[in-house]
């Protein structure tokens, strides 16, 4: 996710959005994303929204798989005062299939983390819909340990087990 302005240690600052957008566009073009492509996104501000917008512009079908109902999700993972992230999310959500974890998977089990479950759901859905041996995953990550359970590190650790093609893009690199 794009960092909140008050984050102590920047990991994906807003200033990196243009470079990340360019890198995501290049990766989607390398993979020849088109109308036969399904792109799954967790919908958070930053790379999730940008990748979904880019894929949709290339004609792909896009599904947002949200870990919680849209209102709560916007508050926790999209909104930053003074930015367009909420507007971009709502516009995207109005144009694509949006699925909510609790509606699709039922309530959380005691002790289960909704973000870890969302990572599993994204990967399992991707594997179920990808052509054989053709699951592709693009992740924007600074290679730093996660802030908590269910973050990007958790997602990558799960993705590695799937024998998928994984493109890792570092938001802090000018070569992203």
pLDDT at 172 over 90: no
CA–CA gap between residue 104 and residue 60 (Å, rounded)? 22
Residues whose CB is less than 8 angstroms from the CB of residue 3 and which lie 6 or more positions away in sequence, other chains included: 10, 11, 12, 13, 14
The architecture in CATH of the region 14-169 reads 3-Layer(aba) Sandwich (3.40)
pLDDT at 55 over 60: yes
Report the chain's mean pLDDT, rounded to a whole number. 94
What is the tens place of the pLDDT at every residue in 106-140? 999 999 999 999 999 999 999 999 988 899 999 99
pTM score, two decimals? Answer: 0.94
pLDDT score for 147: 66
145 confidence band (pLDDT: 50, 70, 90): confident
pLDDT at 146 over 80: no
pLDDT at 10 over 60: yes
| Helix H or strand E segment including 165 | strand 165-169
pLDDT score for 174: 57
Q: What is the DSSP letter of 73?
A: H
pLDDT at 164 over 80: yes
């Amino acid at each position: 996710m794009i960092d909140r302005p008050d984050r102590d240690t920047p990991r994906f600052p807003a200033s990196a959005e243009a470079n990340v957008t360019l890198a995501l566009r290049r990766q989607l073009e390398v993979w020849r994303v088109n109308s036969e492509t399904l792109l799954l996104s967790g919908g958070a501000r930053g790379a999730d929204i940008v990748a979904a917008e880019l894929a949709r512009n290339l004609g792909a079908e896009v599904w947002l798989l949200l870990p919680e109902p849209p209102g709560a999700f916007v508050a926790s993972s999209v909104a930053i005062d003074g930015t367009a992230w909420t507007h971009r999310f709502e516009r995207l959500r109005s144009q694509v299939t949006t699925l909510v974890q609790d509606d699709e998977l039922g309530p959380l089990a005691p002790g289960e983390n909704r973000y870890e479950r969302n990572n599993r759901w994204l990967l399992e859905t991707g594997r179920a819909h990808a052509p054989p041996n053709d699951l592709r995953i693009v992740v924007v990550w600074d290679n730093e340990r996660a802030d908590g359970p269910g973050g990007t590190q958790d997602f990558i650790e799960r993705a590695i087990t799937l024998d998928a093609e994984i493109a890792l893009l570092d938001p802090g690199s000018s070569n992203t």
